[in-house]
Structures are given as structure tokens and as C-alpha cells.
């Protein structure tokens, strides 16, 4: 089993050229499966069947492994068996058709409207970093961008006179999004500073050295803004969640929010209806004379 596993990992590294992060995750997942095989006397990948693998997944789930982690583990097992079948070393894939147990779906964290305003209305110094960071924060919240979309944004994707930004999202799909007046103002303050930095390409958001910002650099700047303005941890996706929940609270138009977020399936967007209900329930509790719930004065 060890030789087959080593050969597969070498294949991922040299031929598939997967990232170091993915390679490490698959390696750890497959080591878990191999350890369980050894524990139950399975000495060859060919001898692992669907029933045994299902039992392993159930055991790992009981031990606290999340549904998301189990789904990744099964993906790693499928990849291994596809490789072994192609190489003639195995005859079947025990993970075929096997799904990870569904876990409780976590609601995304979002800022309320007042906290979002507090974040964005803080004083902005008139320098390169401050103007750039303000433009990034405003654009995240104004248009609901993903981190990858903001980092990949080029000048030809901006039309500030029309109040539009064009981004390339998941599945290489392009969509146009509105840019609010505050975000336009922040971008107009930033772009002349960007031009003066002699950027190396068309990237909208760059470092002082003129290089396109990395996702990690943006995450760090957003986190710093959260600590400075709100005294809390903040990440780019929280601004996207805030955009979505605030849009849904105001419009009640789930389809429109789906389009703005670039979700292929509306079921992905429907999680924000839970956030919206939380907002409505909070308003109800505060406003309705007979809404006092058990434990309110405990």
C-alpha cells in the first residue's frame, strides 16, 4: 500500500502539479485511510470495498472529523483509485457513489449595517496605502466581490463613469456589477496614486513596488482595518456576506442577490434567507409587546 500511495503522490506532484497545500491535505487524508486499513487487516488497496470505506467514514465522523473534511478525504480516495485503475493496479473504486455525511450548515458571519458604516467611515489619511485600502474595502462591500475577483481585477474591468465593474468569477464566468457612489469616490482617489507607482501590469490594486497584490496581502490589510476600526477580526468574505445579507434585507429579491454574487445555484444564495430571518426575529423581539421570550430576564 505504501508503494502505491507514494507513486500516486509523486504523480500529483510532478504530473498534475497540484499545490503544496493540496498535496499535503491529500497525503494526510490518505494516511488516515491507510491506518484504518492496517487496523482492520486490509493489506492491499484492492481489498478495500465500499462497505469498509463507508464504515471508516462513519468512524471518522464520530471521532469529530467535519463533513467538509470527510468530503475532501473521499475526493482524495477517488483520485487515488482513478490513478491505480488507470495503472492497472486496482479493479474498482470503493469511493464511487459514496458521499460524506451532511453536517450542520454554518451561517456566514456578517457585519450589521451600522458596523459596516463604522468600518468604512473612519478617517482616511491621504497616502498610498490608506487610499488603496479604503478603495478595496469599499469595493468589497459595494459590489460583493470574492477575494480572487478583487485581486484579479484589471483596469479594463472598471467603468467608473457608468458605475460598473466587470469581474471574472468561479468557472471563469464574467459578470458586471454596480459600483456604489462611495466606492466610486474611493476608487477615484486611489487610481491617480496607483498610476504614479509605475505598475507592472493592469492590476487595479498594487503594492508600493507596482506589483499586483496577493490574496494574502489583501487578507492582512482587511484584518488590520477590522482591528483598527471595529476591534474585531475581519476577512474579505465577511464583507461579501455583509453585502449579500444587507441587499436581501432591503430588497427581498433572492434571484437578484444570486446574480450579484455569481452563484450558479440559488440554493447557495438561500443561506442568506436565514441571516435575513435572524434580523427580522431580532426586530420582532425588540418591537412586539408580547414577544418576550423565555429566559429574556434570566
Active site residue 170: yes
Active site residue 274: no
CA 152, distance to chain mean position in Å, is: 15
- Distance in angstroms (rounded) separating the CA atoms of residues 166 and 169: 10
**Short-list 262, 60, 231, CA closest to 145:** 262
Sheet holding 174-178, edge to edge: 158-159, 164-168, 174-178
Active site residue 288: no
Given the residues 27, 54, 61, 237, the one annotated as active site? 237
Given the residues 72, 132, 194, 263, the one annotated as active site? 263
Given the residues 146, 212, 241, 246, the one annotated as active site? 146
Given the residues 68, 170, 216, 255, the one annotated as active site? 170
Given the residues 212, 240, 241, 246, the one annotated as active site? 240
Based on C-alpha coordinates, what's the Rg of the chain? 24
31-34: which pairs have CB atoms within 8 A and are 24 or more residues apart? 31/5, 32/60, 32/73, 33/73, 33/76, 33/77, 34/1, 34/2, 34/5
Active site residue 26: no
Active site residue 263: yes
Catalytic positions, written as ranges: 146, 170, 237, 240, 263, 272
Amino acid at each position: 500500500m505504501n508503494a502505491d500511495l507514494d507513486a500516486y503522490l509523486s504523480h500529483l506532484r510532478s504530473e498534475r502539479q497540484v499545490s503544496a497545500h493540496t498535496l499535503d491535505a491529500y497525503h494526510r487524508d490518505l494516511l488516515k485511510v491507510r491506518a484504518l486499513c492496517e487496523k482492520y487487516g486490509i493489506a492491499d488497496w484492492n481489498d478495500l470495498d465500499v462497505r469498509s470505506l463507508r464504515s471508516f467514514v462513519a468512524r471518522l465522523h464520530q471521532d469529530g472529523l467535519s463533513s467538509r473534511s470527510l468530503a475532501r478525504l473521499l475526493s482524495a480516495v477517488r483520485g487515488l483509485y482513478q490513478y491505480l485503475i488507470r495503472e492497472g493496479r486496482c479493479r474498482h473504486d470503493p469511493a464511487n457513489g459514496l458521499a460524506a455525511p451532511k453536517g450542520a450548515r454554518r451561517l456566514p458571519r456578517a457585519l450589521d449595517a451600522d458596523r459596516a458604516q463604522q468600518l468604512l467611515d473612519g478617517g482616511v489619511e491621504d497616502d498610498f496605502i490608506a487610499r488603496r485600502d479604503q478603495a478595496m474595502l469599499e469595493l468589497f462591500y459595494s459590489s460583493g466581490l470574492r477575494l480572487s475577483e478583487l485581486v484579479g481585477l484589471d483596469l479594463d474591468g472598471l467603468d467608473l463613469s457608468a458605475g460598473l465593474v466587470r469581474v471574472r468569477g468561479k468557472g471563469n464566468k464574467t459578470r458586471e456589477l454596480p459600483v456604489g457612489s462611495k466606492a466610486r469616490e474611493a476608487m477615484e482617489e486611489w487610481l491617480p496614486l496607483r498610476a504614479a507607482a509605475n505598475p507592472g501590469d493592469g492590476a487595479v490594486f498594487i503594492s508600493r513596488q507596482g506589483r499586483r497584490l496577493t490574496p494574502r496581502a489583501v487578507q492582512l490589510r482587511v484584518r488590520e482595518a477590522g482591528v483598527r476600526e471595529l476591534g474585531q477580526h475581519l476577512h474579505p468574505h465577511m464583507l461579501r456576506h455583509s453585502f449579500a445579507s444587507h441587499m436581501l434585507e432591503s430588497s427581498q429579491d433572492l434571484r437578484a442577490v444570486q446574480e450579484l454574487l455569481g452563484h450558479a445555484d440559488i440554493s447557495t444564495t438561500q443561506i442568506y434567507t436565514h441571516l435575513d430571518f435572524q434580523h427580522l426575529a431580532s426586530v420582532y423581539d425588540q418591537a412586539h409587546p408580547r414577544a418576550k421570550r423565555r429566559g429574556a430576564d434570566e
